[in-house]
């Protein structure tokens, strides 16, 4: 009997842990990506090049290779295509309707408008469409309907700033559509859950600390443990269950972002994939005891995932902030493995990048993941790890190699 073959949509660095985990589970991998040179190709048993939005090409590949499952694990790009391919081939999947709500913020807003709690008067604008002149819900959050990682998002305080925010959002939208959401005060949270056969398993609950220079991105992701986790899970579970039922998400991992205030829960976004910033691969196993990557692989193949939770520890994901300027280098990374509680880290910035205000989540230069039995200790450990890094910033952009010859 041949081992099962899993089509993984995406073969970049963030898909590597999924490809490697599948191989460790005895699952063969067909890695598919738009680009020609991707690290996942070297790890997978088979690879193919295709646009992850091209459902017809992906379905043809899946049929040719006789795949047993399809997974788009860490990026919204591919989630809708994975659902469509699975549906066409009769494979396990989340379904097209759920995939649309989880990748299109306008569709999500329309879906959750039917919820007893969480609906609000959002407005979707098509390309070149302007809002009515009597729009009065200020401040307003302006966002592309089909982007992730906070790309293109701005909070607008008054009408004269709206045209620039609309242009900014449309520049980050594949479709050119933009959503206007009335701003709601409160604390942003994340719920990472796994849905299987009607049951919701909480893998993690997080309270965000906003970046002081840009409230649309987080400075810290604080994953709760102990009594605080249990109390919040009990509070939010009925509302989240209703939301997921309306969305139609009946299997797989889900990364839900919402605002919690004195009036209830208010949805921000819902992603049918693992969270970024090492949430999927490092945070969730630490806070829940569940191998979220393995569970996603098993579910995609129609197998019952192991969702038995263990003793939870608190985890903090802390994001680095630097002075404004151009990056010359960063020192101190070799110290991080020796620091207590450090579970992982990532440096996203490259030499020559311009650093400063984090305009979106991708603009944060680095982060550290640290755990401890208590959240405050985890936070202290994460911040200590960030302080161990020495960022070399220069005030002028570096001269490209060979530029001096051109000047001479």
CATH number at residue 86: 3.40.50.20
pLDDT number for residue 267: 96
The alpha carbons of the chain give a radius of gyration, in whole angstroms, of 22
Task: Quote the pTM value.
Answer: 0.94
Nearest to 252 by CA among 72, 75, 112: 72
Assigned domain for 82 exists: yes
Same-domain check for residues 130 and 196: no
Q: Is the pLDDT of residue 404 over 50?
A: no
Let me know whether 173 and 209 are in one domain.
Answer: no
**Structural domain contains residue 112:** no
Q: What is the number of domains present in the chain?
A: 4
**Residue 182: band (very low, low, confident or very high) from pLDDT cuts 50, 70, 90:** very high
How many C-beta atoms surround the C-beta of residue 309 within 10 A? Answer: 12
- Calculate mean pLDDT across residues 339-354: 97
Question: At residue 44, does pLDDT exceed 90?
Answer: yes
Last residue of a domain, one of 294, 312, 330: 312
How many residues are present in the chain?
A: 408
- Domain identity same for 297 and 222: yes
Listed residues 132, 147, 182: the one ending a domain: 182
CATH number at residue 385: 3.90.1170.50
Strand order from edge to edge, sheet including 123-125: 123-125, 178-182, 140-144, 154-156
Is there a domain that residue 98 lies in? no
Rounded to an integer, what is the distance from CA 334 to the centroid of its chain? 27
Domain of residue 277, residue span: 186-312
pLDDT band at 389 (very low <50, low <70, confident <90, very high): very high
Residue 311: pLDDT band (50, 70, 90) is confident
In a domain, 37, yes or no: yes
Is 60 exceeded by the pLDDT of residue 7?
Answer: yes
In a domain, 379, yes or no: yes
Do residue 227 and residue 303 come from a single domain? yes
Same domain, 170 and 282: no
Number of Cβ atoms within 10 Å of the Cβ of 240: 22
Specify the 3-state DSSP secondary structure of 125: strand
Over 70: is that where the pLDDT of 64 sits? Answer: yes
Determine the average pLDDT of the residues in 282-309.
98
- Give the pLDDT mean for 341-357: 96
| Residue 408 clears pLDDT 80, i.e. is over it | no
Residues 226, 177: one domain? Answer: no
Is 30 contained in some domain?
A: yes
Q: Residue 361: which pLDDT band, with cuts at 50, 70 and 90?
A: confident
Q: Is the peptide bond before 139 cis (omega within 30 degrees of 0)?
A: yes
Whether 328 and 359 share a structural domain: yes
């Amino acid at each position: 009997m041949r081992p099962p073959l899993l089509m993984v949509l995406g073969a970049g660095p963030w898909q590597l842990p999924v490809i490697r985990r599948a191989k460790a589970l005895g699952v063969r991998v067909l890695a598919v990506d738009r680009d020609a040179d991707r690290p996942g190709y070297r790890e997978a048993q088979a690879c193919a090049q295709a646009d992850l939005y091209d459902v017809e090409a992906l379905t043809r590949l899946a049929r040719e290779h006789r795949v047993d499952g399809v997974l788009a694990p860490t990026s919204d790009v591919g989630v809708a295509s994975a659902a469509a391919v699975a549906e066409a081939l009769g494979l396990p999947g989340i379904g097209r309707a759920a995939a649309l709500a989880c990748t299109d913020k306008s569709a999500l807003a329309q879906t959750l408008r039917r919820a007893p709690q969480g609906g609000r008067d959002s407005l979707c604008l098509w390309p070149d469409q302007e809002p009515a002149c009597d729009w009065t819900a200020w401040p307003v959050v302006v966002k592309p309907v089909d982007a992730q990682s906070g790309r293109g998002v701005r909070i607008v305080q008054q009408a004269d700033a709206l045209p620039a925010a609309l242009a900014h959002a449309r520049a980050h939208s594949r479709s050119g559509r933009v959503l206007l959401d009335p701003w709601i005060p409160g604390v942003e949270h994340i719920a990472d859950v796994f849905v299987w056969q009607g049951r919701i398993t909480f893998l993690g609950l997080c309270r965000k600390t906003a970046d002081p220079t840009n409230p649309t991105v987080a400075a810290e992701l604080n994953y709760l443990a102990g009594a605080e986790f249990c109390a919040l899970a009990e509070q939010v579970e009925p509302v989240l269950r209703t939301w997921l039922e309306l969305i139609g998400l009946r299997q797989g991992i889900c990364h839900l972002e919402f605002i919690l205030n004195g009036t209830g829960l208010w949805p921000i976004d819902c992603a049918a994939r693992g969270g970024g910033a090492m949430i999927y691969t490092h945070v969730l196993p630490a806070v829940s005891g569940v191998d979220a990557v393995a569970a996603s692989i098993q579910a995609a193949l129609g197998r019952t995932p192991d969702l038995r939770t263990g003793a939870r520890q608190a985890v903090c994901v802390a994001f680095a902030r630097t002075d404004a300027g151009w990056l010359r280098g960063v020192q101190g990374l070799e110290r991080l493995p020796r620091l207590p509680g450090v579970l992982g880290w990532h440096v996203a910035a490259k030499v020559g990048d311009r650093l400063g205000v984090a305009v979106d989540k991708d603009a944060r230069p680095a982060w550290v993941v640290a755990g401890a039995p208590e959240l405050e200790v985890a936070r202290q450990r994460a911040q200590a790890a960030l302080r161990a890094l020495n960022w070399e910033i220069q005030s002028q952009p570096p001269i490209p190699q060979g530029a001096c010859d051109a000047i001479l």
